[in-house]
Structure 1
Amino acid sequence: MTTRILFVCLGNICRSPAAEGAARALLPELEIDSAGTSDWHVGEPPYGPMQAAALRRGIDLSRLRARQFGPQDFRRFDLILAMDGQNLADIEALRPAGSRTPVRLFTDYAPQTGADHVPDPYYTRDFDGALDLIGAAAEGLRRTLAAES
């Protein structure tokens, strides 16, 4: 059974903390965390405009702090969800020998959107669009986990 989920993006200041917040709201019984494949923002809070957009939806990200993804995360989590293909590849490059922890794209849980990744709002400036997609994928994840249990 999946009880520990990690969301991963590049810097861990926009997409993955927003996914963490959305998933915690829908799945409070699970252990949920987020990380970035880069070390650019380690220790920093989520990006201000993302925090503001999430807060307008009732999701408070202010207590979260960025951390870097590492090989130990394959042992700590039952499922690792990447925000895009490049981050998925970067995660897989760190997979320890023998690890069978599933790594998937988060958008796999929102096929109805037609999206193959969550665009990075740090660059696109579309925080609400990213949150719409994250919300759809989080709901799809909730439904999938409910069906598995």
Structure 2
Amino acid sequence: MAHVVLQDRIDRAGLTDQVVVSSSGTGGWHRGEPMDRRAATTLTDAGYDATRHVARTFSPDWYAENDLLLAMDQSNYADMIEQAPTVEAQQQVRMFRSFDPEAPSPDAEVPDPWYGGPEGFAEVLEMVERTADEIIERLPEFAPGVRW
């Protein structure tokens, strides 16, 4: 969901040619699959295109290919830090909600709505939207080559 929303915000800001959004999981159990149908329905109902997303698996190569790496929960964060090729590269990893103006703390997690009902997906979408808006505002901090 975060990939789709963040890509939407990048497109709206006119930064499509300057900023690439990628997403992955730290485990490979869903690799090659489309997103959860409930997440796709929530996004589609909100006006987003959820059809292009395909699950991928995070690897240490992402450090060289990306300026900022966002983890959705503490488990993903720990997995990503563990795969960092250097201590300096670890600085590229941030918690997604560290940008959320309503997060209770910088290390707050995005809750996993997998085992709940549609209301959990709607809650996550709202959280992702406001966080994506803040990321766009702060993007020059992490992508100095981006021209506004």
Same fold (TM over 0.5): yes
Q: 2:126 aligned with 1:136, yes or no?
A: no
Per the alignment, in what secondary structure is the counterpart of residue 94 of structure 2?
strand
Deviation at 1:43, TM superposition (A): 0.3
Q: 2:70 aligned with 1:81, yes or no?
A: yes
Unaligned runs of 5+ in 2: none
Show the 5 A alignment for 1:1-149: 18-28=1-11, 29=15, 30-97=19-86, 99-100=88-89, 102-114=92-104, 116-125=108-117, 126-145=120-139
Per the alignment, in what secondary structure is the counterpart of residue 40 of structure 2?
helix
TM-score normalised by length of structure 1 = 0.82
Unaligned runs of 5+ in 1: 1-17
- Deviations 1:41-98, CA, capped at 9 Å, x for gaps: 1100001010000111111111111010001011111100000111100111111136
Relative to structure 1, the CA distance from residue 53 to residue 99 in structure 2 (aligned partners, 3 Å threshold; closer, same or farther) is same
CA RMSD of aligned residues (A): 1.8
Identity across matched positions, percent? 30
Deviation at 1:111, TM superposition (A): 3.0
**Higher strand proportion, which one?**
1
Deviation at 1:147, TM superposition (A): 7.0
TM-score normalised by length of structure 2 = 0.82
Quick check: which has more Rg, 1 or 2? 2
Task: Give yes or no for contact 1:24–1:32 (8 Å, CA) kept in 2.
Answer: yes
